[in-house]
Structure 1
């Protein structure tokens, strides 16, 4: 067992173990792999939401007096485009692409915001997607290991 080093003066963070080699925990590494699969699933769900919104305007509930009220077809295009890009980035994460974590974190953040704005149309589906997005952001931000090629 390694002894923690002394905290630096003025630091409120606990000291890191002396043998900290910068490699993330196995949970974060496994979480990143799971996040890649979740990105694929999240992208496919976005494509389904998008196609449903584009195909017909009466698939989703009508919303009155909402600040972010767009035409359902416009929301469909937003979800379709985000879904296709999320699938691409999820595939990149599974392949170990170095760019995929940063791009994935940014795009999942946009997807989270879009689904928050989408809440009045499909509340349960939007909340599930937001929860998935929060996990993906956590997994991509906490894994400090090098991607396996």
Structure 2
């Protein structure tokens, strides 16, 4: 009985590694693109709120009532930070993975509190943020690049 060598590179192993590497790189690019889009929409939400747009309607009894200008700045800051994190993800920075989960989580909380102002945008961004968290959490950088 002969021992099988596992340190030998075979075409199947090379193809499997290449596929995993490509998939991991694709996940990181998808996460970067999604957080970039979600951040741009958040910036536009913030600018719209800062401009005191007539699109926003709010009932009288809302527990998390802030001035519309305050909400605008919250969204602009989260959006700008998200764009920076997306850039970090796109170039494969290690800090960007943790930062992406943090900024997406903060964004989900802000969007939840923003629901009474503009529910469709808030739900859209919550969905994008959840996809970003999933994409970053499933990406294994040891297999990528």
Q: TM-score range by the shorter chain?
A: 0.7 to 0.9
Larger mean CA deviation between 31-40 and 92-101 belongs to 31-40
1:32 Cα offset (Å): 2.5
Gap change, CA 1:120 and 1:27, over 3 Å in 2: farther
- Count of aligned pairs between the two proteins: 126
Q: 1:35-46 to 2 correspondence within 5 Å? A: 35-46=31-42
1:69 Cα offset (Å): 1.0
- Structure 2 partner of 1:14: none
1:131 Cα offset (Å): 0.5
| 2:61 is equivalent to residue 65 of structure 1 | yes
Larger relative contact order, structure 1 or 2 (CA cutoff 8 Å, min sep 6): 2
Moved beyond 2 Å, runs of 4+: 24-32, 145-148
Which runs of no fewer than 5 residues in structure 2 stay unpaired?
1-16
1:26 Cα offset (Å): 6.3
Which runs of no fewer than 5 residues in structure 1 stay unpaired?
1-20
- Structure 2 partner of 1:92: 88
SS in 2 for 1:59: coil
Superposed CA RMSD:
2.0
TM-score normalised over the length of structure 2: 0.79
Work out which of the residue numbers 106, 111, 114 in structure 2 matches 1:110.
106
Residues 112 and 122 of structure 2 are in contact (CA less than 8 Å); yes or no, is this contact kept in structure 1?
A: yes
Residues 28 and 92 of structure 2 are in contact (CA less than 8 Å); yes or no, is this contact kept in structure 1?
A: no
